[in-house]
Structure 1
């Protein structure tokens, strides 16, 4: 297509200059490409022929097919693209400068209650303990592991045992740290410091931060690494041995399988680095088993932040832990805490 070379230059610019995550850059490119393809289908074959009317026509089309939040993101992507062209002298004017984003309703993040979070941790293999996210004394007190409800066949199935230990460590770590699913999938063994119970997390824009985790997560992670991980890694090595000489590199998320299985904290069933979709599937499955609302890994992040603030954590500290660039993003969780407080007040206070 006529727009591919200039779109490639824009993508290179984002990679080199904006400090954005790979997923964000991918989304920006995809959104912009869809817009340019729409314009191409309507007779535009030169970037200089794009007009504000054409872009509004594209907006009208998208508004009938996507949610308002998705449309807002697409408009931001397209505005950024044309701003780049204008500021770099590739266009004499910016046809997207007056494009407005739709107003979005202010929705509070979905979170689990502390009881629901405990139920989720329990079904993943850990006895519930009050205040797991942010209360280290309670975490240390709740150190007993329940083996009740486990399938007896796990003792005879090393793979099933390995997956159980992996899933337990994943759910504990997501809730204990509030890290993003992409950050969890990208963890390497060298990112873990068991002596201080901290993770070195690489977040959006390759920004690194250090995040603490509590005793239950530490124990689950230690068991996975000591007992479960080697079993899945061995499956990868066996697959590599079979494919040796065939030229099959078995790429996993852009890394070679040998390096990947050697460094990745969490592995998929075949022994390569786990991906985000697999983590989401694990969380959905465990939520269903626990009988709690169907949640995503991001809802666990919301829950961790809310429970930390409920427990008295400082807003700035939570901001740093979550890797938010803006305090306003973290402040959403204070609204959730206030909403819960209001509900409890109305239920308990006689003159509410």
Structure 2
């Protein structure tokens, strides 16, 4: 990394930490800035639109990936401008790359049933982990970071407090009828006082199960069922199931911890049969209203 930019980048990343941004977000900024310094090794005051254009042209992957790099650089340069390291932000001269809106990616019902059956037959730790993901739509990192003191199983108040993106807290309700609630009660009844996390790292109960090891458990399930999906698609599947079961999109937004409703809409996919049913109900209500039916 360029010695000229290193101090600024370190200060910028330190400010992101102080703002409470997620570790994965800070890591993404760090990766973008490291890559940028491979192209440009001068002082920040000499960064211009041409240099930025060349860097963005070198970024591979999808248009969304290029847009992400653009956003990271823009925020870094905005920070430099705010602290008067530069007098103008050169990235403002460039057009913002357009992102492609991808449709929801729930796991197809037939494959989801195979995976759900495999989860039910798995050993207790795996069963609880993936049942929670499937029934609550939590992010995998949120689930792995659950501590025992985040769990409240008081009758009528059952919930888990999770730390989402930006270290924002939200409550995940656990209503009677959820298998994950039953499994959680069994786990809490066997609680070891030395255990901090609900899913501890094997050999070190003071640390949560790593994302890498959770991925290994997921791939074992995939191999067993002959399917190939990402863990995150369980979140999409949960949102889609809730939407098609009549849960409001606003309630799903709150459950998933999205700041914007538009983000939730990218997770939940309304099935065609449900859409037809809703349209039929609307027309029936309209006809009843015209006929004066109470």
> Under TM normalisation by the shorter chain, which class is it?
0.7 to 0.9
Q: Deviations over 1:88-122 (max 9, x none)?
A: 21101111113334333322121124453333222
**1:328 CA drift (Å):** 0.8
**1:341 CA drift (Å):** 4.7
- Matching of residue 109 in structure 1 with residue 104 in structure 2: yes
Cα distance in 1 for residues equivalent to 2:94 and 2:140:
32
Root-mean-square deviation (CA), in Å? 2.5
Cα distance in 1 for residues equivalent to 2:256 and 2:32:
27
Cα distance in 2 for residues equivalent to 1:343 and 1:60:
45
**1:36 CA drift (Å):** 2.3
Cα distance in 2 for residues equivalent to 1:99 and 1:69:
16
Which of the numbers 136, 143, 147 marks the counterpart of 1:177?
A: 136
Query: Unpaired runs of 5+ in structure 1?
Result: 127-149, 151-163, 234-260, 345-352
Give TM-score scaled by structure 1 length: 0.70
Q: Report how many aligned residue pairs link the two structures.
A: 270
Q: Deviations over 1:61-107 (max 9, x none)?
A: 12xx3332222111110011011111221101111113334333322
For the 8 Å contact 2:63–2:100, the answer to whether it is kept is: no
Structure 1 residues 118 and 198: CA distance shift in structure 2, 3 A: farther
1:48-59 equivalence runs, <5 A:
48-59=45-56
For the 8 Å contact 2:142–2:162, the answer to whether it is kept is: yes
Which of the numbers 178, 198, 209 marks the counterpart of 2:170?
A: 209
For the 8 Å contact 1:7–1:33, the answer to whether it is kept is: no
For the 8 Å contact 1:188–1:264, the answer to whether it is kept is: yes
Which of the numbers 189, 206, 222 marks the counterpart of 1:287?
A: 222
Q: Deviations over 1:206-258 (max 9, x none)?
A: 1111112353112223344556x76xx9xxxxxxxxxxxxxxxxxxxxxxxxx
1:69 alignment partner, SS class: helix
Query: Unpaired runs of 5+ in structure 2?
Result: 278-294
**1:324 CA drift (Å):** 0.2
For the 8 Å contact 1:68–1:102, the answer to whether it is kept is: yes
Cα distance in 1 for residues equivalent to 2:261 and 2:81:
31
- Matching of residue 305 in structure 1 with residue 264 in structure 2: no
1:200 alignment partner, SS class: strand
Q: Deviations over 1:272-311 (max 9, x none)?
A: 42011222222232133234x4222210011001100110
Q: Deviations over 1:143-180 (max 9, x none)?
A: xxxxxxx8xxxxxxxxxxxxx21000001000111000
**1:343 CA drift (Å):** 10
For the 8 Å contact 1:75–1:99, the answer to whether it is kept is: no
Moved more, 72-81 or 117-126: 117-126
For the 8 Å contact 2:70–2:97, the answer to whether it is kept is: no
Which of the numbers 81, 94, 100 marks the counterpart of 2:95?
A: 100
Number of the residue aligned with 2:200: 267
